[in-house]
């Protein structure tokens, strides 16, 4: 009996040692997956608290845990308003998730734990011009009374989809229909566009081309590429996702994209270090790293970093009246041109309207002539699916492999799309003079396809003529 007790005590001691050792290992050397999850949670909560004014626990539960990896359900959050930081971790202890809010530069994950080193180059957003009380886009008022059929469609939850947070329908430059989800406190609340940001990055490249400071034929873009075939990569190759660079865009694991966004302080340096996996200009590879490189390219066309940081607001958001826009940078001051633009749904609609109008706003040319036409021209390497940071079909969702994304929908053939993670879309239809913004928290596994809403709007009798 004594021997059994001694063995049992020995076993309990061994278990205790293993548990303590495992906890210490997780604390001091957390695996990359836990670090990615912790920093992702911290970054998402930081942006939604300090930019969108939301409750941190609500963001954790609804935006981070509900749609995400099972590991995220074990995350806990603590917000420190005094230094504008957000701390997260597995059970609140493991992973060391940290993000910091930096005013005009938005939030950034702090993968190294040094908040001061992550503050980036300080800059102030230019003050917004005074806005009148007129109809959108000149002011905040909308008049949708003459469009009851549009209202009826927007009341159909099957068409607007699960997790819908905002739908805006614009025709002839005016909002003719609008709906917001229960979580949206006001029409000015900023929402993340995720990969719709890539199309904004293409527009910003266009503004530098218009200014004469950049050409799509420019090559030798980074010193790291000087002595190999990557020196041949042009701005045009990057815009078309045809750089030939290897980049893993899998969001479900520790991959190039999740490592870049949540474990790297200098995102373009990480992306620039990827090697070629195919010939330059011949292979399509959708890559968030490519869009971050484009941000660095156009920012490098300025001599002073502060001037580059102010440029999106001076050249694009300011003229359009996108007063809610917050474009986040990485800790080193590069705009996260793949993913991290926050703006209200109405302001996203303004950007869509700019594209519909061929880059002209209130008679002023914002983008070079034919720039938007070039953006929406299909590329050979993408088999006609993609232009320049712009899609030519709607989201795939649960479309079976080998079946076209728009199969089964009668859509206007000239429609082109901005597509973002978790159900962010802007559809631009020149033939109908229409822009449709749909934003939400709608993971692709739910199978929602906004193509049905676009088809229904396009087929309304008399409304869309």
Position 274 in a domain = yes
Last residue of a domain, one of 91, 118, 145: 118
pTM value surpassing 0.85? yes
DSSP conformation class of 223: G
**Contact criterion met (CB below 8 Å) for 43 and 108:** yes
Identify the bridge partners of residue 335 per DSSP, sorted by sequence position.
329
Looking at the structure of the chain, the number of domains it has is 2
Same domain assignment for residues 316 and 264: yes
pLDDT means per 10 residues in the chain (465 residues)?
Answer: 57 46 46 90 98 97 87 94 95 88 96 87 79 92 96 98 98 98 95 98 98 98 96 98 96 91 97 97 97 98 96 98 98 97 98 98 98 98 97 93 94 98 97 98 95 97 60
- The reported pLDDT for the residue numbered 133 is 86
Measured CA to CA, the distance from residue 325 to residue 193 in angstroms comes to: 11
Last residue of a domain, one of 118, 140, 170: 118
Write the burial class of residue 219 (CB in 10 Å: 0-12 exposed, 13-18 middle, 19+ buried): middle
Same domain assignment for residues 335 and 394: yes
Place of tokens 């929406």: 376
Strand, helix or coil at 439?
Answer: strand
Domain that holds residue 70: 32-118
- The reported pLDDT for the residue numbered 39 is 96
**Which residues lie below 8 Å from residue 29, measured CB to CB, with a gap of 6+?**
none
Question: What CATH number does residue 411 fall under?
Answer: 3.40.710.10
Last residue of a domain, one of 118, 143, 163: 118
């Amino acid at each position: 009996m004594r021997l059994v007790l001694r063995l049992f005590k020995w076993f309990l001691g061994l278990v205790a040692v293993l548990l303590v050792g495992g906890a210490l290992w997780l604390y001091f050397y957390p695996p990359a997956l836990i670090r990615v999850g912790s920093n992702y949670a911290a970054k998402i909560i930081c942006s939604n608290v300090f930019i969108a004014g939301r409750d941190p626990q609500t963001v954790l539960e609804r935006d981070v845990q509900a749609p995400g990896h099972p590991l995220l359900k074990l995350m806990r959050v603590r917000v420190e308003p005094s230094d504008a930081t957000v701390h997260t971790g597995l059970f609140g202890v493991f992973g060391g998730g940290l993000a910091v809010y930096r005013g005009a530069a938005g939030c950034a994950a702090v993968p190294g734990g040094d908040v001061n080193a992550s503050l980036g180059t300080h800059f102030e957003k230019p003050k917004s011009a005074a806005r009148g009380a007129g109809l959108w886009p000149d002011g905040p008022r909308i008049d949708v009374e003459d469009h009851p059929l549009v209202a009826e469609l927007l009341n159909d939850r099957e068409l607007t989809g699960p997790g819908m947070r905002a739908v805006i329908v614009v025709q002839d430059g005016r909002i003719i229909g609008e709906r917001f989800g229960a979580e949206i406190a006001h029409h000015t609340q900023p929402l993340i566009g995720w990969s719709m940001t890539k199309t904004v990055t293409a527009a910003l490249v266009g503004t530098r081309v218009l200014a004469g400071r950049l050409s799509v034929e420019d090559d030798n873009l980074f010193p790291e590429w000087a002595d190999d075939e990557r020196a041949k990569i042009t701005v045009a190759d990057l815009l078309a996702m045809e750089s030939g660079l290897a980049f893993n865009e899998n969001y479900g694991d520790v991959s190039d994209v999740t490592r870049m966004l949540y474990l790297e302080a200098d995102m373009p340096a990480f992306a620039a270090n990827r090697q070629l996996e195919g010939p330059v200009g011949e292979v399509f590879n959708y890559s968030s790293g490519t869009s971050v490189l484009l941000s660095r390219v156009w920012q490098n066309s300025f001599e002073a970093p502060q001037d580059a940081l102010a440029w999106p607001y001076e050249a694009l958001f300011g003229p359009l009246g996108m007063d809610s826009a917050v474009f986040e940078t990485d800790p080193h001051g590069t705009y996260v041109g793949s993913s991290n633009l926050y703006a209200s749904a109405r302001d996203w609609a303004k950007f869509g309207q700019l594209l519909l109008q061929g880059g002209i706003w209130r008679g002023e040319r914002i983008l070079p002539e034919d720039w938007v036409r070039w953006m929406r021209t299909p590329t050979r390497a993408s088999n006609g699916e993609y232009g320049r940071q712009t899609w030519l079909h709607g989201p795939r969702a649960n479309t079976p492999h080998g079946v076209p994304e728009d199969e089964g929908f009668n859509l206007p053939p000239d429609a082109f799309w901005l597509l973002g993670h978790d159900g962010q879309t802007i559809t631009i239809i020149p033939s109908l003079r229409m822009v449709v913004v749909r934003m939400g928290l709608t993971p692709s596994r739910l199978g929602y396809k906004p193509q049905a809403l676009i088809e229904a709007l396009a087929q309304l009798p008399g409304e869309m003529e």
